[in-house]
Amino acid sequence: MNTENLNGILVQYIQHCKSRAAAEEGSFWRAADCFGVNWDIDDSDFPAMFADATQQARLALDNPVLQPIGGMQNLMLRGTEIELVRECFRWLFKADDGDISKRRGRVELFADQINGRFRRVFPRMTKYTMNAAHAAYLLNLWSPRENYFYNAAEAKAWADYFDYEADFGGGAALNLPRYYTMCNDLLAALEAYPELLALHKAYVGQELGGVDDANHLLVYDILHTAYTEQLYPKGYARTATTKERAKAVQEKATRAELCACIGEAEQELQELLANPAQLPDLTGCKITHKMFGAGTVQPVEGQFMVIDFGGTLKKFSYTASMNSGYLTAEDPTVEDELQAYQDYNKTKDRLEKELKAMKAELVKM
């Protein structure tokens, strides 16, 4: 996960959490808390228990177009259907040892079973349809520490921004393993943000009686808030136009390519610095100058070599004089050592200049 992008989102998210009123936040936290407090699959009055357990969830799931909670309540108005709904839930909440693929199968089958039964009983009441995402929501209410809430638009926005495959499905089919993988990556990344984890722990402890969510509700709220509060850059916000989205995608690709180039250059520079070429000690070497004749190199003085030409001392640059053609070493390996030293410094200077230019360009993006 791109740490720089994540920092940009979470800095805004933390400020949002600190500024928003407690009454405005956490509808799904409260839905999970309400469900956990009231749910009892063996309750003798299952319809009443179901109504109590899902009263907060109904606010999030039911709307004028689709009413999955209302549909199940209407279905259970027929006394003969109560036990069928109970058994569907018993099967939905069955342990699966963490196998998300099996969990997806149960989610899809649960929705199919409820829809199929409802169509038989109330064939003309189509608004009470349930889809796999609704069933997954119920699964998360039952065990928030093992599941994540799902909203298609919010999930796609996060996937697009962080370069995940965004086809999570919907309707009858839902790619739960792919979505959970993305959420798990964010969950792991949150370990580097202790302030945020502390805020979440305090909220859950003080407002919701300590829902045991293993930070899964926090993960979803980050996805939810990033989308609804438009924490993404302009091209990724939910109000962005098609043109703005296309531009944002192109800029992101350019930025990613530039970051890759910076990474490669930094790696090359680190490898170069790990094995530096040393300035050879030429003290005592015999050198011939075209004008001054034969001489002997004296002890090193910084980047210059001092040559004694029969009592006359002359200074010459280590990195330039041998290449000028005026100086010739008696030992041919001397020139090779100086050339290696010169090549090392040229490469080092080039990489440092390239990195400075690329980082300056990245800041401007």
What is residue 23's predicted lDDT score, i.e. its pLDDT? Answer: 46
pTM score > 0.75 for this model?
no
First-last CA distance in the chain: 19
Q: Are 111 and 172 in contact (CB under 8 A)?
A: yes
Band of pLDDT at residue 22, cut at 50, 70 and 90: very low
- Sequence-ordered list of residues with C-beta below 8 angstroms from that of 5, at least 6 positions apart, any chain: 161, 162
- In percent, the amount of the chain with pLDDT more than 70 equals 87
pLDDT single digits (tens) 86-120: 999 999 999 888 899 999 999 999 999 999 998 88
In whole angstroms, give the CA distance from residue 121 to residue 341.
Answer: 87
Q: What is the pLDDT of residues 200-225, one digit of tens each?
A: 888 877 766 667 789 999 999 999 98
Give 118-154 pLDDT, tens digit per residue: 888 888 777 888 888 899 999 999 998 899 999 888 8
Could you tell me the residue ranges of all domains in the chain? 3-240
DSSP β-bridge partners for residue 317: 304
For residue 15, the Cα-to-chain-centroid distance in whole angstroms is 19
Cα(50)–Cα(196) distance, rounded to whole angstroms?
Answer: 34
- Is pLDDT of 24 > 60? no
What is the band of 330 on the pLDDT scale with cuts at 50, 70, 90? Answer: confident
Are 296 and 308 a contacting pair, CB within 8 Å?
A: yes
The pLDDT tens digits for 227-266 are 888 888 776 655 666 676 677 667 766 766 777 788 888 8
